[in-house]
């Protein structure tokens, strides 16, 4: 059992024991008050009439008249007790009953049910009428002197229901232990899983262990599994990136070393060798440049993102450049930028992202086919969609998300040795830095369609100047 278990157990136990003691005290006060409210003197209206009649008889007729009245009263017999605690008919009277009658005599509310009368014989008699229940429980005949009942035990000032409290305490301890275990067990599992993750083991899964739970701890376990999955994918991506970078750099370095060795062995081919060395140097510089760009984008270093970019102007420039490049390889580019939206961001970065997608489409589309570039504005969601469509071989469905990973080459285009597989990765990072998204899907009639969704800042029209107002603000 861990420390957390005992903390849960202790505080739950203290709370429950406090509740039990509080309930016991409440019952004790209730029982005491009920005992105080209980009385053995008849307080009913008929008792008031009977006591008044007896008091008048004693005052004006004497003790003998009162004795006859009591003997003829039947069930409801008045008790007359003098100052020496002797009853007029010689009946036994419980001292507690006399004390209660004298206490009622001193109160205003019940004074009428008890009378104290001084008789002609010089004695002062206390007149009261016991309750019917009290009369039923009095043994012996009224003409005899019955034996005195055993003295009544005094109720303690505080009465605790010991058996209910004992049962409640045992039940509280049991459920406190059960509740503490219920909360501490998944936390111990989380602690163990975090310790394993810190040591590099990301294979622990908490969802199967908490499958029967549906509380926040189960949500935390599922979030932990999601976190380890992402960490595992990130670590695998980093390892793959390191492998791919070393592989991509090894080839030009090997060619550089071979060219240098060839130049030493064949000095007459120095010019051709230097040209080869220069070409390999450019390739390495391009690769390192793309890696640095990707690294800065992943670190969130995007530079100034305050440019007001008109999509129509940006796409027009990209289409012109792409059309010139495509014609040199017997491909075509068809597109018209007719969108007046303005995007806030980095002009050079956004130009590079869209250009990478368009150039990739030009490389993959078949000879004598056309790459289409279309735009569509969603005014409700304030997004502009830029679609780049080619007529190439497409991408297998299970690789549609992987083509945006570093150095990934689709199985249908892996024979293509142009580029390093970083163009689409850089494009995705730039688009996401602008608050947008990029998705790829296969077309029904062949080819690949890449959709770029970008949130726009405003729309420029000839009749409105909302963008100008935003810039001035």
Residue 142, pLDDT score: 42
pTM of the model: 0.50
CB 91 within 8 A of CB 142: yes
Q: What is the pLDDT of residue 465?
A: 46
- CA distances in angstroms from 112 to 55, 83, 93, 134, 235, listed in the order given: 11, 20, 21, 20, 96
Phi, psi for 424 (deg, rounded to 5): -70, -30
Residues paired with residue 448 on neighbouring β-strands, in sequence order = 442
Query: What pLDDT shows up at residue 442?
Result: 92
Angstrom distance (rounded) from CA 169 to CA 20: 7
Q: Please tell me the predicted confidence (pLDDT) of residue 150.
A: 42
Q: What pLDDT shows up at residue 56? A: 86
The pLDDT value given to residue 410 = 74
pLDDT by residue for the chain (473 residues), tens digit each? 456 566 666 777 777 777 777 777 777 766 666 555 545 777 777 788 888 888 888 888 888 888 888 888 766 678 888 888 888 888 888 888 888 888 887 775 555 678 888 888 888 888 888 876 555 445 444 444 444 444 444 444 444 556 666 777 777 777 777 777 777 777 778 888 888 888 878 878 777 777 677 777 777 888 888 888 888 877 777 777 777 677 667 777 887 888 888 888 888 878 888 888 888 888 788 778 777 777 777 777 667 778 888 888 899 999 998 998 898 889 999 987 777 888 888 888 888 889 989 999 998 899 999 999 999 888 888 899 999 999 988 888 888 888 888 777 777 664 554 566 778 888 888 898 889 999 999 988 888 999 999 998 777 654 344 465 454 44
Q: List helix spans (H) across 365-436.
A: 423-433
Q: Closest Cα to residue 19, out of 175, 195, 191? A: 175
- Looking at residue 259, its pLDDT comes to 83
Specify burial of residue 315 (Cβ count, 10 A radius: 0-12, 13-18, 19+): buried
Report yes or no: 424 and 357 within 8 Å, Cβ to Cβ: yes
Task: Retrieve residue 85's tokens.
Answer: 């605690």
Which pLDDT score is estimated for 389?
Answer: 94
Tell me whether residue 318 is exposed, middle or buried, using C-beta atoms within 10 angstroms of its C-beta: 0 to 12, 13 to 18, 19 or more. buried
């Amino acid at each position: 059992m861990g420390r957390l278990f005992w903390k849960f157990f202790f505080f739950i136990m203290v709370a429950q024991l406090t509740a039990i003691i509080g309930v016991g005290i409440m019952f004790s006060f209730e029982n005491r008050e009920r005992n105080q409210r209980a009385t053995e003197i008849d307080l009913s209206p008929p008792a008031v009439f009977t006591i008044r009649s007896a008091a008048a008889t004693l005052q004006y007729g004497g003790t003998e008249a009162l004795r006859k009245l009591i003997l003829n009263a039947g069930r409801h017999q008045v008790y007359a007790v003098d100052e020496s605690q002797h009853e007029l008919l010689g009946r036994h009277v419980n001292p507690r009953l006399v004390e209660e009658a004298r206490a009622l005599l001193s109160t205003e509310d019940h004074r009428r049910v008890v009378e104290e009368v001084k008789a002609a014989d010089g004695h002062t008699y206390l007149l009261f009428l016991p309750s019917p229940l009290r009369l039923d429980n009095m043994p012996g005949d009224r003409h005899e002197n019955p034996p005195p009942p055993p003295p009544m035990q005094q109720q303690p000032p505080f009465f605790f229901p010991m058996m209910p409290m004992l049962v409640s305490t045992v039940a509280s301890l049991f459920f406190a232990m059960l509740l503490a275990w219920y909360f501490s067990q998944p936390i111990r599992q989380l602690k163990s899983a975090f310790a394993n993750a810190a040591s590099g083991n990301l294979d622990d899964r908490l969802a199967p262990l908490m499958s029967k739970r549906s509380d926040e701890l189960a949500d935390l376990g599922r979030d932990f599994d999601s976190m380890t999955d992402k960490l595992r994918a990130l670590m695998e991506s980093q390892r793959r990136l390191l492998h791919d970078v070393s592989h991509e750099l090894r080839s030009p370095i090997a060619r550089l070393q071979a060219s240098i060795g060839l130049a030493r062995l064949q000095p007459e081919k120095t010019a051709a060798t230097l040209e080869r060395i220069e070409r390999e140097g450019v390739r390495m510089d391009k690769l390192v440049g793309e890696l640095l760009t990707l690294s800065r984008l992943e670190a969130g270093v995007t530079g100034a993102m305050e440019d007001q970019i008109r999509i129509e102007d940006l796409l027009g420039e990209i289409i012109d450049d792409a059309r010139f490049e495509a014609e040199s390889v017997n491909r075509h580019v068809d597109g018209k930028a007719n969108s007046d939206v303005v995007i806030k961001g980095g002009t050079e970065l956004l130009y590079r992202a869209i250009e990478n997608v368009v150039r990739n489409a030009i490389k993959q589309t078949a000879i004598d086919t056309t790459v289409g570039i279309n735009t569509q504005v969603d005014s409700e969601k304030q997004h502009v969609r830029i679609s780049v469509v080619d007529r190439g071989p497409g991408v297998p469905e299970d690789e549609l998300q992987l083509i945006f990973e570093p150095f990934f080459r689709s199985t249908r285009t892996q024979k293509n040795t142009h580029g390093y597989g970083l163009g689409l990765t850089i494009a995705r990072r730039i688009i996401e830095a602008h608050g947008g998204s990029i998705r790829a899907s296969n077309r029904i009639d062949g080819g690949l369609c890449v959709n770029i969704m970008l949130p726009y800042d405003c729309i420029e029209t000839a009749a409105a100047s909302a963008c100008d107002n935003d810039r001035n603000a």
